[in-house]
Amino acid sequence: MEVFLHKIGGKEVPKPVRAELRRCTAAEAPAVYALQNEVRAAMPDPSQFVPDTLENITAYVQKDLCIGMWQGGRLGAYAIVRFCGESEHNYAAFLGIPRAEWPHWANADSAIVHPDYRGNGLQRLMLQAALPLFPGNITHIGATVSPENQYSLRNALASGFAIAARREMYGGYDRYLLVKEL
């Protein structure tokens, strides 16, 4: 999916800059991992984002779905969606959904936009680009957001997610659990 960036480095650009939203390949997993680490290291409150290992990210890119935003050969943003089926990692499990329904739930796992590219609505656009690539049996998306993460929370609500619960996740982090029905 083609997108046009209106802001780079926090400044309006004189002419919109073309970028591409597309599925990342396994060979690109190290770039996804590097972007995760770079952005997290610069976050004022890193507890708002629980990082993942290169091994896990490689598996998500291969078996789940990772949408990247590429601008002139540079990865500037990514979003990972996981299809956890009956595994305990499925957010449906934390919402009291009967196990038989878990395979119909996707996890909106993570989204990162490099500070250079913020303000272009990329978190929302990446979800839009991901939706047509979902398996046909998915009816719901679950997500977790730190109540302190105003940017991510605002984007999730604007994308049609609703807050369903608040609880500790990932070994002690305060999180809203959100749900979007497809």
Ligand X SMILES: CC(C)(COP(=O)(O)OP(=O)(O)OC[C@H]1O[C@@H](n2cnc3c(N)ncnc32)[C@H](O)[C@@H]1OP(=O)(O)O)[C@@H](O)C(=O)NCCC(=O)NCCS
Q: Identity (one letter) of the amino acid at 38? A: E
The enclosing H or E element of 65 equals strand 65-71
x-or-dash pattern for ligand X, window 87-116, by CB under 6 A? Answer: -----------------------xxxx---
Determine which residue in the list 29, 31, 61, 118 makes contact with ligand X, applying CB under 6 A: 118
Q: In the range 21-40, which residues lie near ligand X by CB under 6 A?
A: 39
- Of 2, 3, 8, 37, nearest in space to 119 by CA: 8
Q: Which amino acid is at 13?
A: V
Give the tokens for residue 45. Answer: 């409150």
Minimum distance between the CB of residue 49 and ligand X, rounded to whole angstroms? 5
Tell me, residue by residue from 124 to 163, as one string, x for binding to ligand X by CB under 6 A and - for no binding. Answer: -------------------------x-xx--x--------
Residues 44-73 that bind ligand X (CB under 6 A): 48-49
Nearer to ligand X, 28 or 52 (CB): 52
CB 26 within 8 A of CB 32: no
State the nearest-atom distance from the C-beta of 145 to ligand X, in Å. Answer: 6
Cα–Cα distance for residue pair 181/139, rounded to 1 Å: 6
Residue type, 59: A
**In whole angstroms, how close is the CB of 124 to ligand X at the nearest point?**
6
Gap between the terminal Cα atoms of the chain: 20
Residues that bind ligand X (CB under 6 A): 7, 39, 43, 48-49, 110-113, 118-123, 149, 151-152, 155
